[in-house]
Each structure stands twice: as structure tokens, then as C-alpha cells.
């Protein structure tokens, strides 16, 4: 991805400001999660979304109320972007009763019926068939809803993805397959794992249209999302968006990312950062002043700090809670 | 019996499904060859004609894909009835079953239920070798988060299916191929029984006493129940009174009924067509020995499939399968009866 200059675009100041705010919330939240992990307050695996913020924020801007989303284990950003409560997410990371899953799920397993967020899944690629099933239910109910099914470049090499492509195309399901291509399948670079440089072209074999999108540009992502969602809502079946992005941190907190150079990461951060991009647009377009942005930064910091406080103050789950929610009550 | 309405298990399953589909539009059926063909084992016959291809849907041979899709649809307010044609195929799709279907209720802290029925065929005895003849009851029952049922007769088959369709949880519905009433798989007359036309439920998690007795308890499920009943007939002629417990459900397991029966007879035989080790038979015995050691007059016995892959050759497979004669011998041994010359 080449360096890019901020360009004027057909976007309102309010919308740009919202993008800035939403992406910054994810970044600061993830930085805080990284700190809490380092302090031993979060256990297990913790996959941070830093660097990929424009993907989910851009696509959420293309959704309507009632649309669904489902993703893998790198899921904190998706939850924040669809409006889930940062307190509940952070408290799940620390395994507290105030977490979205009462501490039973952790980082990789959270859900919200209210925000139509269907998880948070820990097995690479496993959420992809589920996403098709959600879309199937919507088509069955004829309610006009669309499901955004997110997965990574690593998951794109799982067989079940192609079982799902076939069914989704065969049954014209209203599902947008979002391939978040962050260039690394855990520690394996794209060119060492994937036969084609453009994963979206694999949809052609199933008759599913698709395109590549610059995932460091939230405006480009939103525009592509609108096109994809219009295709689905028109009853034309699934659509594939391969969003080319970059994760700044390791695969999880336990990954020192020795499979790539510091310079590579540094170059992306300096030249392609999605938040800096919007910041530049806001400043050069005179939509906001440095002081305006500082005020937003402060506001976000307060939200994130409050979530960290909540995640430490919320009690640990009582042992009785172990035995609830295994089975639903038979009415 | 007047107005007797004898059905096969296959027809009873289809009838229960159809009756629920008439009253609940969220119920739909999908799987390989369940629509046009009516199910390889007959259990969806007639559904396509009545409900159409939107609700009765043939799938590609993509078990991971369509079982995963069913999990999604179930979480979104639908009630999928999905067929995994042979339980042996679980190897290609178990992730969707035990990691998604069975765990999403818990992982969501109860925010989402996964109400679905996964039907799958079990059992051998017709020379189909080791990738199409297994039972694998223990493999499913071992894992928390899903219920597991397996009927031995058409009455229970209908009632368990209705109960499964009304249950807010995922239910694995394992039907034994030898009991389906499909001629090419052999016919077990005892499985074809009177089935009321109206809808009814058989409670999941409740065993049945298929035959009452005093001297020995034979616990089994599905096909094994019929071996037990035949053995009980033979034993009666020899002066031994056998009680036969039909588990009907493996999860939840009706431990009370098992314990009460053994408390009465003092002797236990478990008949299990699944592999011998680490399975249902061991669990039943542990259920008794953990609480009823004083009630036991002799060490329990199990008649299960030996720990070998299921062979093709008829003589080899039949040697391995449980049967009435093996049960009779075990019961006589437990009761201290002399071995007939």
C-alpha cells in the first residue's frame, strides 16, 4: 500500500468526526486491554484490533438497524463499533460477572442480542457458516436484513468458507463476506500461505461478486460497504469485500511478532494509519481544530478509563454461575 | 387392538416433524437428500410435498457448512431440523456441533439459545464396515451443552421428536438404522408399534421400564433394548426374571431409574452397541457403583462393541455385535445359574 495524501471527499464534518471518535475508542480501548493484560488482569488469549479500526467503523456506517454482524476472536473492535457497552466488554476480558457473558466467554466469546452481534468465535473460520445461517433466517423471514460475516486472510484457507460460499450463492443469501486481510495468518505472511494475492477473486468460482478495498481508508471502506449491502438488500445474493488492512500488534498478546520487521510495522503506522488519515482530513478541511480533537481524545480516554475501572470493580463470578446457561430452561 | 396404528420409527419421526411444522413456521428441515429423496432412512418422507422446498431443503454435501448455518439460524429464532446422514460423518463437522451448537448458549451467558435438532443415523449389522456402522453414543453424550436421545420404538420416536422440536436446546436425535423399518437394513418387529395420531411428547431425560423383572437389570438404548427383551424372554423360560430399562435419553441420563432397578434386582448388565471402553456402558456402571455398591450381588457386566474398527465381513461383524444370546449367558453367570450343557 502506497503512502496516501489526505483527499477531500464527499463526507460531512459530522460523519468524519464520528469516524474519528469511533476509531479512537477502539484504539484506546485496545491499548488499555493490552495494559491490563500486561498487569495480569486479563488471562488467556487476547487479540487486539489496533491498526484495523477503519474496517469495522467504515462497514458499520453502511449498516441499518437490524443488520447483523458476526466475527472471529479478534472481536473487541466489532463490539465497540456496533454500540456495545465498553464496560461490559472490558469486564468480560477480566472475567467478571459484569461482562457480557458473565465471565464465561472471555475475549473470544461475547454476544449481544440487542446489537445483533452474534459473537465472538474462537475457531478459525467457524463463524462463517453461522453467518450464512443468520442470513438464511433473515431471508426466510423476508425482513430485508443483511448479515456482515467477518473473517481473516487466515480463515480464508479453511474449507468451510467455500462450503459456505457455495450455499450462500446457491440460496441467494443476504450476506456480506468481509475478509479482513491483515496480511498475516497468525505468523504466516500471505505470500507464504495463500495461493492468490487477491482472496476476493475466489468468489468468482461460486458466482459471488467481490472487490478489494483499502482498509486503511475508512471512507473507501464505507463506500464499498454501501455497495455490497445494496447488492444484498436487492436480493442479489452474497457479496465479498476483501478489506486490505494491517495489524500493528502480534496475533495475540503472547506473540512478539518476530516474523516481520519493526520497520515494516513502523512504515504502516507512519504512512497509513487510519486514524491519522481522518485526523488529517478533519484538520486540513478545517472541520475541526486541534483543540476540538483534544477534547474528543479526552472524552474517549474517560470512557476507556471508566471501562477499566468497571472491569476491576465488577465482582468475579460466583461458583454457582458455573452451572447456569449450559441448557436453557424448558418452558 | 382396535384402531391400532402401527408405524415404523421412520414414519413416526416424519409425522412428528410434520405436525410441528404445521403449527410452528420457524421449523424447517435441511440436510443431504432429505427433500426429493425423502431421507435415505425414510425419516423425512412426505415433508417436501406438504411444506415445499423453502422449508424442506436439500443441501450440498457440506456438513460443516450447513450444520454451522443451522446454528446461526437457530440463534436467530428459527428451529432447524438438520440431518447428518451417518453419525460416522461427524469427523468432518464436529466443530460446528460441539464447539458452536453446544457452547454458544453458555458462552453468551444465556443471551442466545440454540434450539435445533440434529438427526443422525447410527448402528450396523448390515455389513457396511467401519465408516457407516458406528453408534458413537458416548462421543456425543460426553460433551456438555447438548441433549442426546435415541428411541427404540415408534411411539418413543414420535414423542421424543416432538419434545426435541419444542426444546430450547440443541438435541442430538440418534436413530438406529436397524430400527427404521427400511427393508434393506433388516426389520425389527418390536420397533413397529402403535402410534397415536395426535401430537404428544415423551419427556427427554426419562427412561422407561420396557419389561419388569426381579433378578437382573438389563440397561440399554435403541437396538440394544430389543436384544434385551429377547434375552428376557429366553431367561424367563429358564426361571430368571429380567428387567429391561430403555434409557431413551443419554443426556440428561435418568440415573434414578437405573439405580432403582438395580436396587431391586441386585444385578446389572449394560448392553451398548458403541465401543466398549470410555463409553456409555462404563457410565451406567459408574452410576450404580458410585451410589449402590451395597445393592449389588455381583460385579456388573457389559456387552459392548469390542475396541476394534467395525469390520466388513458379516461373520466378523456379527461376532462383535451385542445379541440376546450374549445377554442370556451374562445373566445366567450373574445369577449363578449353571451353564447349560
Q: Which residues of B touch A137 (CB under 8 A)?
A: 72-73, 76-78
Q: How far is A74 from chain B (nearest CA, A)?
A: 16
Do residue B215 and residue B188 come from a single domain? no
pLDDT tens digit sequence for A62-118:
999 999 999 999 999 999 999 999 999 999 999 999 999 999 999 999 999 999 999
Query: Do residues B308 and B330 both lie within one domain?
Result: yes
- Whether B322 is in a domain gets the answer yes
In B, which residues are within 8 Å of A330 by CB distance?
166-169
* Per-residue pLDDT, A8: 47
Count the domains in chain B.
2
The minimal CB distance from B96 to the residues A99, A126, A326 is found for A126
Burial A215-235 (b: 16+ CB within 10 A, else e): bbbbbbbbbbbebbbebbeee
Which residues does A318 contact at the CB level (< 8 Å), separation at least 6?
A: A97
Q: Is residue B203 part of a domain?
A: no
Q: Does B99 contact chain A (CB < 8 Å)?
A: yes
A189: three-class secondary structure by DSSP: strand
The torsion angles phi and psi of B61, rounded to 5 degrees, stand at -80, 75
Whose cell is 434385551? That residue is B228
Per the CB < 8 A criterion, the answer to whether A242 and A213 are in contact is yes
Q: pLDDT tens-digit profile of A31-64?
A: 999 999 999 999 999 999 999 999 999 999 999 9
Asked if A71 reaches chain B (Cβ–Cβ under 8 Å), the answer is no
pLDDT by residue (tens digit) across B161-207?
Answer: 999 999 999 999 999 999 998 878 878 999 999 999 999 999 999 99
- In the listed set B194, B219, B239, which residue is the last one of a domain according to the structure? B194
Residues of B in contact with A134 (CB under 8 A): 72-73, 75-76
B142 catalytic? Reply is no
CATH code for the domain of B305: 3.40.50.920
Q: How far apart are the first and last CA of chain B?
A: 41
A89 contacts chain B (CB < 8 A): no
Flag whether residue B78 sits within 8 Å of chain A, measured between CB atoms: yes
The span from the CA of B134 to the CA of B121, in Å, is 9
Helix (H, G, I), strand (E, B) or coil at A100: coil
Note down the domain range covering B235: 208-334
How many CB atoms are located within 10 Å of the residue B154 CB? 26
Per the structure block, which three cell numbers stand in for A222?
464505507
Residues B12, B158: contact at Cβ < 8 Å?
A: yes
The predicted model gives A155-167 an average pLDDT of 97
Statement to judge: residues B212 and B185 lie in one domain: no
Residue with cell 419421526: B13
Distances (CA, A) of A293 to A267, A277, B80, B166: 24, 13, 50, 54
Question: What confidence score (pLDDT) does residue B339 get?
Answer: 60
CA pair distance B150, B120, nearest whole angstrom: 10
Inform me whether the pLDDT recorded for A4 exceeds 60. Answer: no
| Residue B320, burial from CB neighbour count under 10 angstroms (0-12, 13-18, 19+) | middle
- Counting residues of chain A whose pLDDT is more than 90, the rounded percentage is 92
B12 lies in the same domain as B73: yes
Is B106 part of the contact surface with chain A (CB cutoff 8 Å)?
A: yes
- The catalytically annotated residue of B132, B176, B226, B227 is B132
Which chain A residue has its CA at the smallest distance from B64's CA? A160
Q: Give the pLDDT score at B241.
A: 98
The answer to whether residues B227 and B275 belong to one domain is: yes
Is B177 within a domain?
A: yes
Q: Is A8 helix (H, G, I), strand (E, B) or coil?
A: coil
Chain B residues closer than 8 Å to A174 by CB: none
Which chain B residue has the Cα nearest residue A105? B107
Chain A residues close to B68, C-beta within 8 Å: 126, 128-130, 132-133, 160, 164
Which tens digit of pLDDT belongs to each residue from A289-304? 999 999 999 999 999 9
Chain B partners within 8 Å of A110 (Cβ): 108
Q: Judge if B169 and B26 occupy the same domain.
A: yes
pLDDT band at A257 (very low <50, low <70, confident <90, very high): confident
Give the residue among B46, B35, B36, B55 at the shortest CA–CA distance from B11.
B46
Pairs of residues, one from chain A and one from chain B, whose beta carbons lie less than 8 Å apart: 151
Does ipTM top 0.95? no
Catalytic residue among B32, B63, B188, B283: B63
Cell digits of residue A263: 520497520
CA distance B68 to chain A (A): 5
Positions of E strands within chain A? 68-70, 147-152, 175-181, 184-185, 188-189, 210-214, 239-244
- List Cβ neighbours of B62 (8 Å cut-off, separation of 6 or more): A160, A163, A164, A166, A167
CATH number of A13-284+297-310: 3.40.50.970
Residues B190 and B212 reside in one and the same domain? no
Is the minimum CB–CB distance between B77 and chain A shorter than 8 Å? yes
C-alpha span between A185 and B36 (Å, rounded): 41
Q: Which residue of A has its CA nearest to B114?
A: A328
Q: Chain B residues with CB inside 8 Å of A314's CB? A: none
> Could you read off the pLDDT tens digit of each residue along chain B, which spans 341 residues?
667 899 999 999 999 999 999 999 999 999 999 999 999 999 999 999 999 999 999 999 999 999 999 999 999 999 999 999 999 999 999 999 999 999 999 999 999 999 999 999 999 998 899 999 999 999 999 999 999 999 999 999 999 999 999 999 999 999 999 999 887 887 899 999 999 999 999 999 999 999 999 999 999 999 999 999 999 999 999 999 999 999 999 999 999 999 999 999 999 999 999 999 999 999 999 999 999 889 999 999 999 999 999 999 899 999 999 999 999 999 999 999 776 65
What is the helix, strand, coil percentage profile of chain B, to 5? 40, 20, 40
Q: CB of B167 within 8 Å of any CB in chain A? A: yes
DSSP A201: G
Q: What is the pLDDT of residue A2?
A: 46
Among chain B residues, CA nearest to A136: B73
Q: Are B11 and B151 in the same domain?
A: yes
Residue of B nearest to A98 (CA): B109
Is the domain of B190 the same as that of B214?
no
Give yes or no: residues B43 and B155 share one domain: yes
A129 touches chain B (CB under 8 A): yes
Mark whether B132 is an active-site residue. Answer: yes
Q: Which residue has the higher pLDDT, A169 or A4?
A: A169
A285 pLDDT band, cuts 50/70/90, is: very high
**Is B150 in the same domain as B230?**
no
Taking the Cβ of residue A130 and every Cβ of chain B, the question of whether any pair is shorter than 8 Å is answered with: yes
**Average of per-residue pLDDT values in chain A:** 95
Query: A221-225, A274-278, B35-39, B69-73: which range is least confident on average?
Result: B35-39
User: What is the full DSSP assignment across A47-97?
Assistant: ---TT-HHHHHHHHTT--TT-EEE--S--HHHHHHTT--HHHHHHHHTT-T
Query: Could you tell me if B126 and B159 are in contact, meaning their C-beta atoms sit under 8 angstroms apart?
Result: no
| DSSP E strand stretches across B117-207 | 117-122, 147-149, 171-176, 193-194
User: Does the structure show a pLDDT above 90 at A256?
Assistant: no
Kindly state whether residues B227 and B156 are assigned to the same domain. no
Amino acid at each position: 500500500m502506497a503512502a496516501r495524501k489526505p483527499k477531500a471527499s464527499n463526507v460531512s464534518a459530522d460523519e468524519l468526526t464520528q469516524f474519528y471518535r469511533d476509531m479512537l475508542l477502539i484504539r484506546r480501548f485496545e491499548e488499555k486491554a493490552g495494559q491490563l493484560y500486561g498487569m495480569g488482569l486479563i488471562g488467556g488469549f487476547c487479540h487486539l484490533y489496533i491498526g484495523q479500526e477503519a474496517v469495522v467503523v467504515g462497514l458499520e456506517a453502511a449498516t441499518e438497524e437490524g443488520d447483523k454482524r458476526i466475527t472471529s476472536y479478534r472481536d473487541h473492535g466489532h463490539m465497540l463499533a456496533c454500540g456495545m457497552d465498553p464496560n461490559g466488554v472490558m469486564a468480560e476480558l477480566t472475567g467478571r460477572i459484569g461482562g457480557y457473558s458473565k465471565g464465561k466467554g472471555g475475549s473470544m466469546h461475547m454476544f449481544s442480542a440487542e446489537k445483533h452481534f452474534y459473537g465472538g468465535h474462537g475457531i478459525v473460520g467457524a463463524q462463517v457458516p453461522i453467518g450464512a445461517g443468520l442470513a438464511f433466517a433473515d431471508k426466510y423471514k423476508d425482513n430485508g436484513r443483511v448479515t456482515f460475516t467477518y473473517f481473516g486472510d487466515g480463515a480464508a484457507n479453511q474449507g468451510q468458507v467455500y462450503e459456505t460460499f457455495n450455499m450462500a450463492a446457491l440460496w441467494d443469501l443476504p450476506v456480506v463476506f468481509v475478509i479482513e486481510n491483515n496480511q498475516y495468518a497468525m505468523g504466516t505472511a500471505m505470500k507464504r500461505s495463500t495461493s492468490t494475492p487477491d482472496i476476493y477473486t475466489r468468489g468468482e468460482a461460486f458466482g459471488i461478486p467481490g472487490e478489494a478495498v483499502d482498509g486503511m481508508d475508512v471512507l473507501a471502506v464505507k463506500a464499498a460497504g454501501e455497495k455490497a449491502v445494496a447488492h444484498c438488500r436487492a436480493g442479489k445474493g452474497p457479496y465479498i469485500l476483501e478489506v486490505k488492512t494491517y495489524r500493528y500488534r502480534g496475533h495475540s498478546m503472547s506473540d512478539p511478532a518476530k516474523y516481520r520487521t519493526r520497520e515494516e510495522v513502523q512504515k504502516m503506522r507512519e504512512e497509513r494509519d487510519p486514524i491519522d488519515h481522518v485526523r488529517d482530513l478533519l484538520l486540513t478541511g478545517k472541520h475541526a481544530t486541534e483543540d476540538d480533537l483534544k477534547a474528543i481524545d479526552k472524552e474517549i480516554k474517560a470512557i476507556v478509563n471508566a471501562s477499566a475501572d468497571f472491569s476491576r470493580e465488577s465482582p468475579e463470578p460466583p461458583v454457582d454461575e458455573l452451572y447456569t446457561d449450559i441448557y436453557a430452561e424448558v418452558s | 387392538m382396535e384402531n391400532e396404528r402401527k408405524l415404523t420409527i421412520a414414519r413416526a419421526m416424519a409425522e412428528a416433524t410434520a405436525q410441528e411444522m404445521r403449527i410452528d413456521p420457524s421449523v424447517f428441515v435441511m440436510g443431504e437428500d432429505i427433500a426429493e429423496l425423502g431421507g435415505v432412512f425414510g425419516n423425512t418422507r412426505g415433508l417436501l410435498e406438504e411444506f415445499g422446498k423453502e422449508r424442506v431443503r436439500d443441501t450440498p454435501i457440506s456438513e460443516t457448512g450447513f450444520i454451522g448455518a443451522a446454528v446461526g439460524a437457530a440463534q436467530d429464532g428459527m428451529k432447524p431440523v438438520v440431518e447428518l446422514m451417518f453419525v460416522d460423518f461427524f469427523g468432518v463437522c464436529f466443530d460446528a456441533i460441539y464447539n458452536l451448537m453446544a457452547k454458544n448458549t453458555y458462552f453468551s451467558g444465556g443471551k442466545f439459545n440454540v434450539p435445533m435438532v440434529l438427526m443422525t443415523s447410527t448402528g450396523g449389522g448390515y455389513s457396511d464396515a467401519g465408516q457407516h456402522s458406528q453408534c458413537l453414543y458416548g462421543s456425543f453424550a460426553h460433551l456438555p451443552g447438548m441433549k442426546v436421545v435415541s428411541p427404540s420404538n415408534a411411539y418413543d420416536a414420535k414423542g421424543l421428536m416432538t419434545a426435541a422440536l419444542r426444546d430450547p436446546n440443541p438435541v442430538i436425535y440418534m436413530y438406529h438404522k436397524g430400527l427404521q423399518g427400511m427393508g434393506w437394513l433388516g426389520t425389527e418387529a418390536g420397533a413397529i408399534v402403535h402410534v397415536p395420531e395426535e401430537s404428544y411428547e415423551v419427556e427427554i431425560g426419562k427412561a422407561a421400564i420396557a419389561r419388569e423383572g426381579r433378578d437382573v437389570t438389563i440397561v440399554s438404548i435403541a437396538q440394544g433394548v430389543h436384544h434385551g427383551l429377547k434375552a428376557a424372554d429366553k431367561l424367563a423360560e429358564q426361571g430368571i426374571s429380567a428387567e429391561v430399562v430403555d434409557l431413551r435419553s443419554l443426556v440428561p441420563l435418568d440415573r434414578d431409574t437405573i439405580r432403582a432397578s438395580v436396587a431391586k434386582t441386585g444385578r446389572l448388565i449394560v448392553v451398548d452397541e458403541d465401543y466398549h471402553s470410555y463409553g456409555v456402558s462404563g457410565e451406567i456402571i459408574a452410576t450404580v457403583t458410585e451410589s449402590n455398591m451395597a445393592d449389588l450381588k455381583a460385579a456388573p457386566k457389559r456387552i459392548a462393541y469390542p475396541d476394534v474398527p467395525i469390520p466388513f465381513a458379516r461373520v466378523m461383524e456379527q461376532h462383535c455385535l451385542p445379541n440376546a444370546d450374549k445377554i442370556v449367558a451374562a445373566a445366567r453367570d450373574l445369577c449363578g445359574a449353571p451353564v447349560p450343557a
